[in-house]
Amino acid sequence: MPDAILRTQGLNAHHGDFQALYEVDLEVSAGEVLAIIGANGAGKTTLMRSITGLLINGPGQIQYQGQDISRLRADQVASLGLAMVPEGRQLFPSLSVRENLMIGAQVGRTGPWDLNAVYRLFPVLKERKDQASTSLSGGQQQMVAIGRALMANPDLILFDEISLGLAPIIIKDIYATLPGIIGEGMSAVIVEQDITKALSVSSRVYCLQEGRVSLESASGTVSRDEISRAYFGIE
Ligand SMILES: Nc1ncnc2c1ncn2[C@@H]1O[C@H](COP(=O)(O)OP(=O)(O)O)[C@@H](O)[C@H]1O
Ligand SMILES: [Mg+2]
């Protein structure tokens, strides 16, 4: 396996007294698309928030490009080239589409992604660039959230619930842009409810169940039975 760009080892995470992740070991290879599945409340968002520095974890639990990032803040993690498309988009409602996209550029990393590149990927955002982000459809808001992450020119991009709440036709459109996003050298982690989609775009899949890794497999060979067991804990 090529070098890991991201590795968690014995990752634990808490929300107050509640432990949401238990000893999670996960590895993303450079250039890989990894899928993470799991029922509601399994800990997927907690894992994404831990990796991106929105939750602070114990030392030595998260390595990114060979560096221990467990104790870094979100802005420090972002400046290392790790970007997230968060669950629920989290756009600034008072800002225009263009201004929301520019937030991603604040980390100051150079690379192929700038406003024009994002507008080429999602032409509708160019048409709407001066409108408030709240005036857009859910699918268009997701495009803004993806574009904002790309503006940081990340080496690793995390998508938390890429298609949740979107119409099937929009989901298809967004997935059609993925090959153009995850271009040469970029790695991705995709948290996805739609298991068929998750398997079709990824090389490997992890399933979380109640805060623990219940399955790690190649996406092409995993069986429906294995997934059901890992997902629901059915024996
Ligand atoms: N801010 C929070 N405070 C308390 N509990 C939380 C918080 N965020 C998540 N949790 C709990 O942690 C568990 C994992 O949640 P989450 O990571 O959001 O799961 P998923 O993204 O897989 O649906 C759930 O039991 C959830 O209720
Ligand atoms: Mg979630």
106-147 per-position pLDDT tens digit:
999 999 999 999 999 999 999 999 999 999 999 999 999 999
Pocket (CB within 6 angstroms of ligand 1): 15, 18, 20, 38, 40-46
161-199 per-position pLDDT tens digit:
988 888 888 898 889 888 888 877 799 999 998 899 999
Residue 11 Cα to ligand 1 middle (Å): 15
Q: Whose CA is nearest to atom 7 of ligand 1?
A: 15
Per-residue pLDDT at 235 exceeds 60: no
- pTM to 2 decimal places: 0.95
> For ligand 2, a single-atom ion, which residues have Cβ within 5 Å?
44-45, 87
Residue 219 Cα to ligand 2 middle (Å): 21
Q: Whose CA is nearest to atom 10 of ligand 1?
A: 15
144-164 per-position pLDDT tens digit:
999 999 999 999 999 999 888
Residue 108 Cα to ligand 2 middle (Å): 28
What percent of the chain is predicted at pLDDT more than 90? 83
Residue 116 Cα to ligand 2 middle (Å): 31
Could you count the other beta carbons within 10 Å of the beta carbon of residue 214? 20
